[in-house]
Amino acid sequence: QRPCKQSLFSQLFPNGVNTNYRVVLRGSKVYNPLTALTEWTDNAAAIIRDYIVHPDGMRLPASIVATAQAVTGWSTAATRATATVPLKAGGTEPTYRLWGSYRFDERPADVVGRMLACCDGRLVPTPDGGLTLDIGSWAEPTFTLTEDVIVGINDISMGRDVTTTANVIRAGYMSPLHDYQTTDADQWIDTADVLARGEYAKEVSFIMSPSHGQTRRLMKLESYRANPRWIGTFQCNMRAMAAFTHRFVRVTYPLFGIDEVFEVLDFRFDKGEGDILLGVTLQVQSMPQEAYQWNAAADEGTVPISEFTTVDGTIPLPTGLAVTIERMTVGGVTASYSVLTFDASPNASLKIEAQGKRVTDTAWTAIGVAPDATTATGFITDDISEYEFQLRFVTIAGREGSWTSSYTIVANGSLDFHIVGNSQYLPIF
């Protein structure tokens, strides 16, 4: 922030020390797993990876994202994030981008949490001791929980309790079309369910999502998670260890008529006496393939209307400027002087300033103008020179407008003079 002239201060800082400026910037280059370069990118996987090891982020050792399996996982996540998705208005956009900022006094878990929420992401440990990212993408599960794997079932039910379901998803996102402010996306509404049992709304936040389409895709997933066909917890034997780090598993349990894909919400190790591993427990809920299918025309919704208000901060020009040269005699000495007339200021907050000079001079002479006046007495002139005069408005905060075009007059062009102390008006020849 550089210093400025006093005359420009009120223009640059209209509220003084309380003037707020918003800055739109590219904040940090990050390592891109797809190009192996540190560069500008909004790829969600690249940004999360950078935050995990950044000295102002989670500050984890760089080695944790550099194991062979971790590198493969980050590359896969970055590829999924950059895959293109069609837009209703035409064209495409990357699947998952991240825009935003964070404060240094925030808990790193909170920051990475909102990053993950905006790309349907999960941090996953790898068997070789690394940490990688799984970005949501539908794939038929490679592991199935069957009756010979499941040894116990807890709290299984068809759907959630009615008080914890939602048929309306409301979400905010960071909209570039709305001056980069958090904006409400078009609601995701299950119209049939709302008509059947009333509105049950759920509020979510995707404040690092820079796209309405991306936000609506996340809202669609949130809607399916709020209304799963099945939800439950399965206690499994050691064979279920094969499901470790998997996002989706298929559950086949004929007793309850279950044969569908589930999303793994929690994976816990069950230990016995002496910390002997006995099995694992999986908390799961139904997640059908259609949750990840996308029809831009039907699913993208309507982007909130953006209205840009243009504030006219220009200062008008004074009008009606005219100048005459008058004469007066004081103590037997006759002198010429200028008299300016002009229209009154249209606004009480605009003060008129005047200046004049001999055309051949370079320096201007200020002419005093009384408040609310429509005339002003200028300086002494000679009878042979050409003079020019200008007006401008100045706001009560000191902001200066532009000068008017010069009004030019020749001093000896006057036909009258005024004898001070006498009422006579005499012609000049």
Tell me the CA distances in angstroms from 335 to 91, 319, 332, 388, 425, one per residue in order. 77, 28, 10, 18, 15
Q: Does residue 311 surpass a pLDDT of 80?
A: no
Q: Does residue 83 come out as left (phi exceeding 0), alpha (psi in the -120 to 50 range) or beta?
A: beta
Sign of the torsion angle spanned by Cα atoms 43, 47, 48, 53: positive
Is residue 307 classed exposed, middle or buried when 0-12, 13-18 and 19+ CB atoms within 10 A define those classes? exposed
Q: pLDDT category, 64, cuts 50, 70, 90?
A: very high
Provide the residue type at 204 as one letter: V
Other CB atoms closer than 10 Å to residue 189's CB: what's the count? 16
Q: How many Å apart are CA 42 and CA 167, to the nearest integer?
A: 32
Contact yes or no for 265/284 (Cβ under 8 A)? yes
Question: Stretch 416-420: mean pLDDT, rounded?
Answer: 38
- Please list, in sequence order, all residues whose beta carbon lies within 8 angstroms of the beta carbon of residue 59, skipping any fewer than 6 positions away: 53, 108
Q: State the residue for tokens 């293109």.
A: 84
pLDDT computed for residue 424 by the predictor:
38
Is residue 257 classed exposed, middle or buried when 0-12, 13-18 and 19+ CB atoms within 10 A define those classes? exposed
Q: How many Å apart are CA 163 and CA 160, to the nearest integer?
A: 8
pLDDT in tens, 68-89: 999 999 999 999 999 999 999 9
pLDDT computed for residue 415 by the predictor:
42
Q: How many Å apart are CA 394 and CA 14, to the nearest integer?
A: 14
pLDDT in tens, 259-289: 999 999 999 999 888 889 889 999 999 999 9
Write a three-state SS string for 296-348: HHHHCCCCCCCCCCCCCCCCCCCCCCEEEEEEEEECCEEEEEEEEECCCCCCC
Tell me the CA distances in angstroms from 344 to 367, 397, 405, one per residue in order. 16, 19, 18
pLDDT computed for residue 427 by the predictor:
39
Contact yes or no for 423/376 (Cβ under 8 A)? no
Q: How many Å apart are CA 170 and CA 216, to the nearest integer?
A: 10
pLDDT in tens, 143-178: 999 999 999 988 888 877 777 789 999 999 999 988
pLDDT in tens, 223-252: 999 999 999 999 999 999 999 889 999 999
pLDDT computed for residue 159 by the predictor:
78
pLDDT in tens, 340-386: 999 999 988 899 999 999 999 999 999 999 999 999 999 999 888 99
pLDDT in tens, 211-230: 999 999 999 999 999 999 99
**Rounded to an integer, what is the distance from CA 186 to the centroid of its chain?**
17
Tell me the three state secondary structure of residue 57. coil
Percent of the chain with pLDDT over 90: 69
Prediction pTM value: 0.75
Q: How many Å apart are CA 139 and CA 93, to the nearest integer?
A: 21
Q: Does residue 133 surpass a pLDDT of 60?
A: yes
List 81's β-bridge partners, or say none: none
Q: Does residue 123 surpass a pLDDT of 90?
A: yes
pLDDT in tens, 177-204: 888 889 999 999 999 989 988 899 999 9
pLDDT computed for residue 410 by the predictor:
87
pLDDT computed for residue 1 by the predictor:
67
Instruction: Return phi, psi of residue 288, to 5°.
Output: -75, 165
Contact yes or no for 52/74 (Cβ under 8 A)? no
Beta strands 248-253 and 144-145 are parallel
Q: H-helix or E-strand containing 56?
A: none
pLDDT computed for residue 419 by the predictor:
36
Residue-averaged pLDDT of the chain: 89
Q: pLDDT category, 17, cuts 50, 70, 90?
A: confident
